[in-house]
Amino acid sequence: MKLLLHTCCAPCSAAIIEYLLQRDIRPVLFYFNPNISPKEEYEKRKNELDKYTCSIGIKTIDGDYNHELWLNAISGLESEPERGRRCLKCFHFRLFATAKLANDKGFDTVATTLGSSRWKNINQIADAGKSAVEQFPKLTFWDKNWRKEGLTVRRAILLRENGFYNQTYCGCEF
């Protein structure tokens, strides 16, 4: 499996990366999160992830930060509640970019760390991921539930062990 793993932050990624490496799957991470505002918050999360992945020898590709493009993509959905249509649109936006990059770079599988958060609707994420790869016949979306098999507990342990900055919101200003 040649896996491009969309990632949102170090705390959500660490246990997943560990899980993958234990199964001889060496992912390449794609940090693409133009939803995060302000840009200082985006940079803080990106730097935390870069520091961690450098320490364990995992490659990360940095997606372009274009918050205005993201705002245009979710336009009209600003007042939607958490787990509503705005979130689904956001997942589609980010996972389509991930699928496109994966296709362009010769990956065969796409996954995301977004589903590790108990605050997110795992079904929305799976739907967005499956939809994202539909335009790329050689790609598969791996919709693994990263909350199971002890990964939520392991996430908390790795967060403490690494002293990760642990944000209190997904990044969206709404």
Q: Cβ(98)–Cβ(30) under 8 Å?
A: yes
Domain locations in the chain?
3-162
Give the whole-angstrom CA distance, residue 148 versus residue 165: 23
pLDDT tens, the chain, 174 aa long: 999 999 999 999 999 999 999 999 999 999 999 999 999 999 999 999 999 999 999 999 999 899 999 999 999 999 999 999 999 999 999 999 999 999 999 999 999 999 898 888 999 999 999 999 999 999 999 999 999 999 999 999 999 999 898 887 788 899
Whether the CA torsion 51, 56, 57, 63 is positive or negative: it is negative
Between the CA of residue 91 and those of 4, 11, 13, 88, 131, what are the distances in Å? 16, 19, 17, 5, 10
User: What is the spatial order of strands in the sheet that 60-62 belongs to?
Assistant: 60-62, 28-31, 3-7, 109-112, 140-141
Helix (H) or strand (E) holding 140: strand 140-141
What is the reported pLDDT for 124? 97
The string of pLDDT tens digits covering residues 14-44 is 999 999 999 999 999 999 999 999 999 999 9
Per-residue model confidence (pLDDT) at position 168: 75
pTM of the model: 0.95
Cβ proximity of 99 and 136 under 8 Å: yes
Residues 73-100: b if buried by 16+ CB within 10 A, e if exposed: bbeeeeebeeeeebbbbbbbbbbbbbbb
Q: What is the CA radius of gyration of the chain?
A: 15
Name the fold adopted by 3-162. Answer: Rossmann fold (3.40.50)
Q: State the amino acid at position 127 in one-letter form.
A: D
Give residue 40's pLDDT. 96
Residue that the structure tokens 């392991």 belong to:
154
